[in-house]
Amino acid sequence: MVSVNRSDVLHNNHAWIGSAGAASHDLRSDTMTTPTASMLAAVQNCSLLDDVWMEDTTTVDLESHCATLTGKEAGLFVLSGTMGNQLGLRTLLTQPPHGVLCDHRSHIVKYEAGGVSFLTGALVKAVVPKNGVYLTLEDVKSNAYLDDDVHTCPTRVISLENTLNGMIMPLEEVRRISAFAREHGIKMHCDGARLWEVSASGAGSLVDFAACFDTVTLCFSKGLGAPIGSILVGSKEAIKHARWVRKSIGGGLRQPGVITAAARVAVDETFGKGPNGEGGLLRNTHTLAQEVAKMWTDLGGKLICPVHTNMIWVDLDDAQCPPAIFEELGKNVGLKLFGNRLVLHYQIYENRDSVVPKLAEVFRAVFENKGRGDGTVPEKGDGEGSMYRSQK
Ligand SMILES: Cc1ncc(COP(=O)(O)O)c(C=O)c1O
C-alpha cells in the first residue's frame, strides 16, 4: 500500500497528497489540482495493456463509464481538452466549405493555437452574445449561414462551451439551439471541459446536456484533479472516427492505464458516482465562490461576470489595481493568483480556513491602496484580449 511522507513529498515534488500539496493555495486555475494517494493506489492496480489494440481494461472501463454517465454510446480517452475538442470538431465536419459557430470567448477560438483552422479548414464565426453571458437561439439564428448560395460558407457545427468562464449556459437554451441545429442538419459539439461543474450545480444532469450534442469533451485534469486527460463521448460511429483521427495525430496510446486509472478515481471521488455529481466534492466550491465574491463586493469591488460555479472574475480596473500588483499581494500572503480570475477547486475548499483569510487580506490591501497609485491603468486596446497575454 502507498505510504507518503508529507515533507519528503513537498520537497521532492512527487506530491500524491492531493489537498495538502501544491494546489492548496493556488487559485490560478483548477488545472493546478494535484493527484491523491487513492489515485496512486489505483495506478498501482491498473491494467497495463495496449490501448491502440483496445485491450487495456482500465481505459476501456473508463471510456464506457463516461459514456454511460453522459448517456452516449461510446467514449474515447484523449490527452487533453484541446485534443478532445479538436477531434470532436474534425469528426463532425466533413469537407469545406464549412463553418463553426461559437461564442467569441470560446476556448476553441482563443486558446487552442488556431487548431480548428488548420485541422479542419473551417471558417469560425465567433459570436458576441447579446446578453453578455451565453449565446441564445436568437444570437445563433442571426449568425448562422443556412443557405447554399455560392458566396456563403455554411454553418455545419455549433460549438457551445459550458461552463464558459465559470458561467452556466442554461439547459433550456442549449435545448432550443440544439433543436434548431437538428432542424437544419447542423451538428452540435460541446466543450464541456467543466460540464461536471454545471451538473454538480444542479443546472441539469450530464445526460440532459449531452443529449443536445453529437460530441462532448469533458476534462479529468481540471476541477476533478486527475493529472492528465479528457474524454470525448458521442455515437459509436463518431467515436470510431475520432479514434482514427486521434491515431493520425499521434494520440494512440500503448499502456495508458497508468493515467486512466487516476482519471477514474477523479470521476468517482471528485465528481461523484451519479450523473448529477451525487456524493462528489464540486458543489462546495460553488458556495465558497459565492462567499469570496461577496467579500470582494462588500468592499466596493465589482465583478466582470456573474459567479455561477467555481470562478470569480474581479474588476481590477475599477479597483485601480494592475494585475501584477494583485498577484504580488497574493504572493506576499502565500497565495498564487493570476490576472483578475480566481479559480476555486476542491483542494482550495479543503484549505479554506487558511485560504479565505489570506484572500480577505489581499482584497483589503487592494481597496486600501485604491486611489493611492498614479492612476495608471494598463493599456488594453480594443482587441479581444487573452488571459495569457502579459497584463503588467
Ligand atoms: C473551457 C476549456 N476547454 C478546453 C480546455 C483545454 O484543455 P487542455 O488544457 O487540457 O487542453 C480548457 C483548458 O483550460 C478550457 O478551460
Q: What is the CATH number of the domain that holds 126?
A: 3.40.640.10
Same domain, 242 and 308: no
Peptide linkage before 97 cis (omega within 30 of 0): yes
Q: How many CA atoms lie within 13 A of 230 on its CB side?
A: 29
- Rounded-to-integer distance, Cα 88 and Cα 52, Å: 19
Does residue 254 form part of some domain? yes
Chain segment 82-138, per-residue pLDDT in tens: 999 999 999 999 999 999 999 999 999 999 999 999 999 999 999 999 999 999 999
How many domains does one find in the chain?
Answer: 2
Atom of ligand 1 nearest to the CA of 82: 11
Strands 187-191 and 230-234, how do they pair?
Answer: unpaired
Same domain, 151 and 266: yes
Does residue 261 form part of some domain? yes
Atom of ligand 1 nearest to the CA of 164: 1
Q: Which three cell numbers stand for residue 37?
A: 494517494
Strand partners, 76: 232
Element (H, E) at 6: helix 6-12
Q: Which three cell numbers stand for residue 296?
A: 470582494
Whether the Cβ atoms of residue 305 and residue 167 lie closer than 8 Å to each other: yes
Same domain, 144 and 55: yes
- What CATH number does residue 362 fall under? 3.90.1150.10
Instruction: Return the closest-CA partner of residue 285 out of 4, 72, 27, 78.
Output: 27
Domain that holds residue 355: 281-369
Question: CB of 341 closer than 6 A to ligand 1?
Answer: no
Does residue 290 form part of some domain? yes
Same domain, 265 and 360: no
Beta sheet of 230-234, edge-to-edge order? 74-78, 230-234, 215-219, 187-191, 155-161, 99-103, 123-127
Atom of ligand 1 nearest to the CA of 79: 10
Instruction: Return the closest-CA partner of residue 287 out of 301, 308, 268, 259.
Output: 308
Does residue 75 form part of some domain? yes
Question: CB of 193 closer than 6 A to ligand 1?
Answer: yes
Same domain, 289 and 307: yes
Same domain, 343 and 196: no
Atom of ligand 1 nearest to the CA of 85: 4
Best residue among 29, 77, 79, 82 to mutate for probing ligand 1's pocket (most ligand atoms within 8 Å of CB) is: 82
Does residue 123 form part of some domain? yes
For the chain, how far is it from start to end, CA to CA, in angstroms?
Answer: 47
Same domain, 189 and 337: no
- Residue with the three cell numbers 471541459: 193
Same domain, 95 and 201: yes
Instruction: Return the closest-CA partner of residue 80 out of 234, 336, 253, 283.
Output: 253
pTM: 0.94
- Per residue of the chain (392 residues), give pLDDT as tens: 445 555 555 555 566 898 989 999 999 999 999 999 999 999 999 999 999 999 999 999 999 999 999 999 999 999 999 999 999 999 999 999 999 999 999 999 999 999 999 999 999 999 999 999 999 999 999 999 999 999 999 999 999 999 999 999 999 999 999 999 999 999 999 999 999 999 999 999 999 999 999 999 999 999 999 999 999 999 999 999 999 999 999 999 999 999 999 999 999 999 998 879 889 999 999 999 999 999 999 999 999 999 999 999 999 999 999 999 999 999 999 999 999 999 999 999 999 999 999 999 999 999 998 766 655 555 666 677 787 765 43
Same domain, 85 and 146: yes
Same domain, 90 and 113: yes
Question: CB of 161 closer than 6 A to ligand 1?
Answer: yes
Same domain, 249 and 298: no
Question: CB of 192 closer than 6 A to ligand 1?
Answer: no
Does residue 233 form part of some domain? yes
Strands 155-161 and 123-127, how do they pair?
Answer: unpaired
Does residue 39 form part of some domain? no
Residue nearest to atom 13 of ligand 1 (CA): 81
Q: Which three cell numbers stand for residue 33?
A: 489540482
Whether the Cβ atoms of residue 78 and residue 246 lie closer than 8 Å to each other: yes
Same domain, 80 and 207: yes
